[in-house]
Amino acid sequence: MPTESIRPARLAPSRIVPTYTWIAPVHDGLARLVEARARRLGLGWAAVRDGETVVEVAVGTGLSFRHLLLANPHGWTEGIDLTPAMLRRAERRVARTGRTNYRLRLGNARALPYPDAYADLLVNSYMFDLLPVADFVPVLREFHRVLKPGGRLVMMNMTIGTRWIHHLWEGLYRLYPPLLGGCRGVAVAPYCEQAGFAPVRRAFVSQWSFPSEVIHAEKPT
């Protein structure tokens, strides 16, 4: 995938919190419609082993976090997000599970509030599609820092499709970026390698013509 075809990020970092504050009430409807298939594959690839330390970066409303927590009854599951309105929804969703072995808090992917070699698994979905390309490697290095040697990284992102129908969604972004929450198609696998992950595997998934990539990468031992 030629990385030059990634469009510039048009949602300024300072607009992310205000944008996701108004998107929060409608986020899950669209996410279920177009991201559910990729999320299912990604969570399958994540293959949580009970007892692990699991971190999700950009938990949003907790759609994946709930699954990660329920799969890890004897472990510890942590999550961060930049937007309080998204995080409040995640907290409500997760409270209904009755589990207590987790922590959710505000945080930024650019400076994770975790020590080096902390997590066995780090999950991140539909966040890189908001970031400027110049931030990809620094943020992936931050993920790499927080993972234990042998730790796994699983990501789902809006990607760049190969058929004309996949480009319809990118058209919405071109028209007015907040319509898609500022997300545009990205292809992150080559940057994972630059940040020190190997091996890196990628799958393409389309749902209602919305193109997603699912990535599994490992921090070498």
Ligand X SMILES: C[S@@+](CC[C@H](N)C(=O)[O-])C[C@H]1O[C@@H](n2cnc3c(N)ncnc32)[C@H](O)[C@@H]1O
Write down the least CB distance from residue 62 to ligand X, Å: 8
Check binding of 159 to ligand X (CB under 6 A).
Answer: no
CA–CA separation, 47 vs 43, rounded Å?
7
Check binding of 83 to ligand X (CB under 6 A).
Answer: yes
With CB under 6 A as the rule, give the number of residues binding ligand X: 21
Write down the least CB distance from residue 192 to ligand X, Å: 17
Answer for which of 1, 30, 40, 108 binds ligand X (CB under 6 A) is: 108
Check binding of 214 to ligand X (CB under 6 A).
Answer: no
Q: Is the CB of 175 or the CB of 221 nearer to ligand X? A: 175
Check binding of 11 to ligand X (CB under 6 A).
Answer: no
Answer for which of 11, 20, 69, 161 binds ligand X (CB under 6 A) is: 20
CA distances from 34 to 9, 157, 167, 194, 201 (A): 21, 12, 14, 29, 22
Q: What are phi and psi of 96, to 5 degrees?
A: -65, -15
In sequence order, the 6+-apart residues with CB closer than 8 A to the CB of 31 are 39, 60, 61, 63, 126
Cβ neighbourhood burial of 39 (10 Å; 0-12, 13-18, 19+): buried
Check binding of 68 to ligand X (CB under 6 A).
Answer: no
Check binding of 86 to ligand X (CB under 6 A).
Answer: yes
Q: Is the dihedral of CA 221, 140, 161, 183 positive or negative?
A: positive
State the residues that interact with ligand X by CB under 6 A.
Answer: 16, 20, 31, 58, 60, 63-64, 80-83, 86, 108-110, 125-127, 130, 181, 183
